[in-house]
Amino acid sequence: AQKRYADLRDLPATDLSGKTVALMMNAGLMADLPSLMNSGADGVGLFRTELQFLIRSRVPRRGELAALYKRVMDAADGKHVQFRTLDIGSDKVLPYMKPQDEPNPAMGWRAIRVGLDKPGVLRMQLQALLRAAEGRPLSVMFPFIATPDEFHEAKAALLHERDREAARGRPVPAVLKIGAMLETPSLAFAPDSFFEACDFISIGGNDLKQFFFAADRENERVRRRYDTLDSAFLTFIERIIARCDVSHTALSFCGEDAGRPVEALTFAALGIRTLSMRPASIGPVKHLIRRADLDALRRVILEARKAGAQSVRPAVMAYLATL
């Protein structure tokens, strides 16, 4: 099987009807970057920036971060990299951050909430990203956006930093793409103006599913209780796809389910054209997409739902058995 995936490395994830799905990889360390070439990923769809903060005993300096982000972009060698700003909260406690005694840290003071309430670190991180780009295209996304205001405020901070860099005569990214991670159900009901203000949306499936079903992703008793292919969840995903289609906002899905071949194929059939996953999943997901017909699978899914299936998984598996 490994050999079969290696043979696929330089081939696109194109289905039998000719639709191509971009397969990106998730990363968080410099050490992940060689996988970009080895796996045949189209780019880095999610660069998690937490690790650089977690491995130090003090806040990293702007210069240190800029040097690291520059090495990431250099190693990507022109392939797209989507950086996510710090998603830290009281579940991932920084050694130098006062522990917040929160009963529900996943729903607590985390991610962009910290970034907006205490903007020092966020601004420093944005400056580091702008400098690292050295005029190259840059994509930045903000985690755990729950309302349009949070996105607008974070975006304004990034544009402000960009303008300051320009005023100082430093190069600024020729193309700056600013996106939101959709990880709370509320955001799917935001007004059109929110979707129009986003260059891209990335569904953070791990958190979105956790909040959709109210099932803690860290709790062994409940984390596998609800099926990602549950009709209700997929209907919700379709709503997000439709909203992004109307506003021509690029949409991707990152999170563990993007790396599970059956789930990935289902998302692709529903219309998601960019998936970001761990590098080892690229081969298996590509293999399956290349054997399938996304339109045919979409019809199978809609039929199953119309027939009242709580989960479309049996129908998807039956379709796969025909390949």
Binding site for Mg ion (CB under 5 A): 183, 204, 207
Q: Which of 87, 150 has the CB closer to ligand PEP?
A: 87
Cβ distance 290 to 239 under 8 Å?
Answer: no
Q: Which of 102, 293 has the CB closer to ligand PEP?
A: 102
Which of Mg ion, ligand PEP, none does residue 44 bind (CB under 5 to 8 Å by kind)? Answer: none
* Among residues 205, 259, 261, 279, the one that binds ligand PEP under rule CB under 6 A: 205
* Among residues 88, 126, 254, 264, the one that binds ligand PEP under rule CB under 6 A: 254
Q: Which of 165, 183 has the CB closer to ligand PEP?
A: 183
Binding status of residue 110 toward ligand PEP by CB under 6 A: no
Q: Which of 150, 207 has the CB closer to Mg ion?
A: 207
Q: Which two tokens stand for residue 169?
A: 């005569």
| H or E stretch covering 251 | strand 250-254
Binding status of residue 46 toward ligand PEP by CB under 6 A: yes
Q: Spell out the alpha helix ranges (H) of 147-278.
A: 148-167, 192-197, 205-212, 231-247, 261-270
| Helix, strand, or coil (residue 247) | helix
Cβ distance 235 to 301 under 8 Å?
Answer: no
Cα separations in angstroms, 182 against 55, 57, 154, 169: 27, 31, 14, 35
Shortest spacing between CB 3 and ligand PEP, in angstroms: 30
* Among residues 87, 161, 165, 230, the one that binds ligand PEP under rule CB under 6 A: 87
Q: How many CB atoms lie under 10 A from the CB of residue 218?
A: 10
Cβ distance 116 to 86 under 8 Å?
Answer: no
Which of Mg ion, ligand PEP, none does residue 254 bind (CB under 5 to 8 Å by kind)? Answer: ligand PEP
By CB under 6 A, which span of 30-38, 120-128, 205-213, 286-294 interacts with ligand PEP?
Answer: 205-213
* Among residues 15, 48, 83, 244, the one that binds ligand PEP under rule CB under 6 A: 48
Which of ligand PEP, Mg ion, none does residue 261 bind (CB under 5 to 8 Å by kind)? Answer: none
Radius of gyration (Cα) for the chain, nearest Å? 20
Q: Which of 22, 254 has the CB closer to ligand PEP?
A: 254
Shortest spacing between CB 40 and ligand PEP, in angstroms: 21
Mind giving me the DSSP string for 123-170?
HHHHHHHHHHHTTS-EEEEEEEE-SHHHHHHHHHHHHHHHHHHHHTT-
By CB under 6 A, which span of 70-78, 163-171, 202-210, 237-245 interacts with ligand PEP?
Answer: 202-210
Q: Which of 69, 253 has the CB closer to ligand PEP?
A: 253
> Rounded to whole angstroms, how far apart are CA atoms 34 and 215?
35
Binding status of residue 40 toward ligand PEP by CB under 6 A: no
Binding status of residue 32 toward ligand PEP by CB under 6 A: no
Binding status of residue 183 toward ligand PEP by CB under 6 A: yes
> Rounded to whole angstroms, how far apart are CA atoms 139 and 160?
16
Cα(first)–Cα(last) distance of the chain, in Å? 17
Give me the amino acid identity at 98: K
Q: Which of 241, 304 has the CB closer to ligand PEP?
A: 241
Which residues sit at the interface with ligand PEP, rule CB under 6 A?
A: 46, 48, 87, 183, 204-207, 254-255
